[in-house]
Amino acid sequence: MWGGVVKLKSVFSIVFLFFIVDHAFAIDPVYEGANGIRENVFATNCLSCHSSEVSGPDRNYAPDSINFDTYEATILNVDVAISEVNVGAMPPADSGIPLLNADQKTALIAWQNAGFPRAAAAAPPAPLISPNGSSLTISLVAGAGLGKNADWWVVAYTPWGHWYYYVYPNVWKDIGTDLGGALPAYQGPLANISSLALFDVTGLPSGKYVIYFGVDTSMNGLLDYNQLYYSSFQLNAP
């Protein structure tokens, strides 16, 4: 897994771009907009009960204080709402309202991870790397950077003190103790990614690894820390 194979950059860029597009969000992880969460989650599955314009029996006993028809009202209760959606408690089974589908749930979680931006331009890029079984998975809410060119980075710090940078789908390049030798995993426009499994961690040598996924908005092949947005995950291999 930690071999030194290097693939042609042009081939890798095409392959990685394909996976980015293939894993784009069906619903934008922002509240506003025609493809946002208000119109494609709350309006379709929640507002028949949780709207400030609905009162009395028409709310199906929903508390008057829990509404999702404005951004200001939504953020007061959205963490609890997402938790109830994830366990199947909302919408109630006897309400006749359909449960949220996979695309709706994915958008809600990504919106939560990004800090509940109101609109795409309201938030910086929000990358996330997290475990999913034996794989590490990345997601990205592009925010204000949507469509802007950027350097995409996946690097790891190993138990033996060396840095590695990542080449899709399962290759790492050892660059020793100097992170300055890293190259971007991809260079191109920022896109919203719902979930992309990068690699399997099975069989790693024992020890503590810290793996980073980030983007910087100056596409020059260099790590620009003043424009870098990143997430990290500590992996303890037995």
Q: Using one digit for the tens of pLDDT, what is the confidence trace for 21-80?
A: 445 678 888 899 888 999 999 999 999 999 999 888 888 888 999 999 999 999 999 999
- Where do the domains of the chain lie? 9-26+119-237, 37-113
As a whole number of angstroms, the distance between CA 115 and CA 205 comes to: 35
pLDDT at 229 over 80: yes
> For 181, left (φ over 0), alpha (ψ -120 to 50), or beta?
alpha
Q: Which pLDDT belongs to residue 148?
A: 92
As a whole number of angstroms, the distance between CA 54 and CA 120 comes to: 29
- Rounded to the nearest angstrom, the gap between the alpha carbon of residue 149 and the centroid of all alpha carbons in its chain is 18
Question: Quick one: average pLDDT of 116-138?
Answer: 86
> Considering the chain, what is the average pLDDT of its residues?
85
Instruction: Please report the sign of the dihedral spanned by the C-alpha atoms of residue 76, residue 111, residue 37, residue 49.
Output: negative
Q: Which pLDDT belongs to residue 169?
A: 64
User: What burial class does residue 166 get, using C-beta atoms within 10 Å of its C-beta: 0-12 exposed, 13-18 middle, 19+ buried?
Assistant: buried
Q: Which pLDDT belongs to residue 44?
A: 93
Question: Quick one: average pLDDT of 112-127?
Answer: 84
* Half-sphere CA count of 102, side-chain side, radius 13 A: 3
Name the fold adopted by 9-26+119-237. Answer: Immunoglobulin-like (2.60.40)
Instruction: Please report the sign of the dihedral spanned by the C-alpha atoms of residue 169, residue 174, residue 179, residue 183.
Output: negative
Kindly indicate the confidence band of residue 1, based on its pLDDT and cuts at 50, 70 and 90. Answer: very low
Q: Which pLDDT belongs to residue 171?
A: 77
Neighbours of 19 (CB within 10 A): 16
Q: Which pLDDT belongs to residue 94?
A: 81
Q: Which pLDDT belongs to residue 121?
A: 67
Neighbours of 189 (CB within 10 A): 14
Q: What is the pLDDT of residues 150-193, one digit of tens each?
A: 999 999 999 999 999 987 666 789 999 999 999 999 899 998 88
- Rounded to the nearest angstrom, the gap between the alpha carbon of residue 102 and the centroid of all alpha carbons in its chain is 15
pLDDT at 19 over 50: no
As a whole number of angstroms, the distance between CA 118 and CA 30 comes to: 6
